[in-house]
Amino acid sequence: MFERVKMKPIKDHIWLMNDNDEATGYLVIGSQKALIIDTMNGYENVREIAETITSLPLMVVNTHGHPDHIYGNIYFEEAYLHPDDLALAQQFYQEPMFTEAIEQMKLKPADFRPIHAGDVIDLGGLELEVYGVPGHTPGGICLLDRQDRILFTGDSIIEQTWMQLEESLPMEVFLQSLDTLKSIRGEYDFILTGHSRDLEDASLYEAHRNAVKEVCEGKKENDIPYEWFGGTSKAHPYGSEPRRIVYK
């Protein structure tokens, strides 16, 4: 029925949604409602996909405002996003290719509702706690599931982090954000990123944070050119491919 988005069970109540290896969303099911973390690219109806798994009311949270995390919002009435990424998301909502496509589909993007660090999402028997991680974007967030010992990180903690974008904050600010997560390091064993294919070991946090620290300290002698659609930046490798911090 759905050609792009493939569902993979992580737990009996957590599903990974792989959108054609281009983006990843998650369906987390409690006893009273279910949460969709990131709606991916929007080519397929993520609401209908989730409803093949659960009949519970659905809530949507976007980890940040990039299009491969918010464009599937067109299938929902509202989505929660940190206010510091609101302008960024609205900018992508106004992209001509996007507006033309949804006009043809007779759909419109979800209205945004604010979510902040310290908020707790109660799904019924399962809670997720919100942590702010400004860096990759100003309003990036992570969600901690203490029960399953999983941290959902969007693109804030991920093997290949883009920090060369216009909206990305200074690397020193990003390091400070990552350091605020030290206090919860003992609460999770696994990480699920905005582009994961399966559970990733939580040691990614330390490796990622240390690499950002190295860039801040100027330890760039082994850094390499990085070609992307916006031009050429620098990449700081850390460990095996594709682990790298990309920066201006």
- Give 167's strand partners: none
pLDDT of 55-92, one tens digit each? 999 999 999 999 999 999 999 999 999 999 999 999 99
Which residue ranges of the chain lie beneath pLDDT 70?
A: none
Instruction: Express each pLDDT in 5-31 by its tens digit.
Output: 999 999 999 999 999 999 999 999 999
Distance of CA 179 to CAs 24, 132, 175, 186, 210, Å?
A: 25, 11, 6, 14, 10
What share of the chain has pLDDT > 90, as a percent? 99
> Which pLDDT does position 1 carry in this prediction?
73
Contact by Cβ (8 Å): 201, 193: no
* Close Cβ partners of 53 (under 8 Å, ≥ 6 residues apart): 7, 15, 27, 29
Q: Is the pTM of this model over 0.85?
A: yes
